[in-house]
């Protein structure tokens, strides 16, 4: 994946979950909650067939007409990247107020856009 840019961490961030939800394209999910976060992005609380649960950005799910189920449109890994102020990151994707980023050790995960100064 080609980077969309680089950034410097301006505020520490610790990942929220050690074993978050992971979806593959076409995977079925149950949706039990929808929320619009402060940044005005819609997030869905999903559970997959393995019983893992977590927030998924709405653009990654094709939601059924009744809103209770959906299908993953693409691979989605909800792992967050723990980062520290001053750290340099490669920014690989931006979605719903988060960057999918890679640190200098090759670790990847989501980091809030508000914690990064994009260079």
**pLDDT attached to residue 61:** 98
Asked if residue 103 lies in contact with residue 89, where contact means CB atoms within 8 angstroms, the answer is yes
CA 76 to chain centroid: 7
Instruction: Quick: pLDDT tens for 72-118.
Output: 999 999 999 999 999 999 999 999 999 999 999 999 999 999 999 99
Q: Indicate the pLDDT class of residue 119, thresholds 50, 70 and 90.
A: confident
34 pairs with which residues across the strands? 44
3 state DSSP class of 77: strand
53-72: pLDDT as tens digits: 999 999 999 999 999 999 99
Looking at domain 5-16+80-118, its CATH superfamily turns out to be SH3 Domains (2.30.30.40)
Determine how many CB atoms are found less than 10 A away from the CB of residue 21: 22
Cβ–Cβ contacts within 10 Å for residue 117, how many?
10
């Amino acid at each position: 994946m080609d980077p969309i840019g680089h950034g410097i961490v301006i505020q520490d961030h610790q990942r929220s979950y050690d074993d978050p939800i992971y979806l593959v394209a076409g995977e079925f999910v149950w949706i039990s909650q929808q929320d619009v976060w402060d940044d005005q992005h819609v997030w869905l609380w999903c559970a997959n067939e393995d019983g893992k649960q977590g927030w998924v950005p709405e653009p990654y799910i094709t939601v059924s007409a009744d809103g209770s189920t959906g299908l993953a449109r693409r691979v989605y890994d909800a792992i967050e990247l723990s980062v520290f102020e001053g750290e340099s990151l490669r920014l690989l994707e931006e979605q719903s107020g988060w960057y999918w980023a890679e640190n200098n050790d090759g670790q990847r995960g989501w980091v809030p856009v508000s914690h990064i100064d994009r260079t």
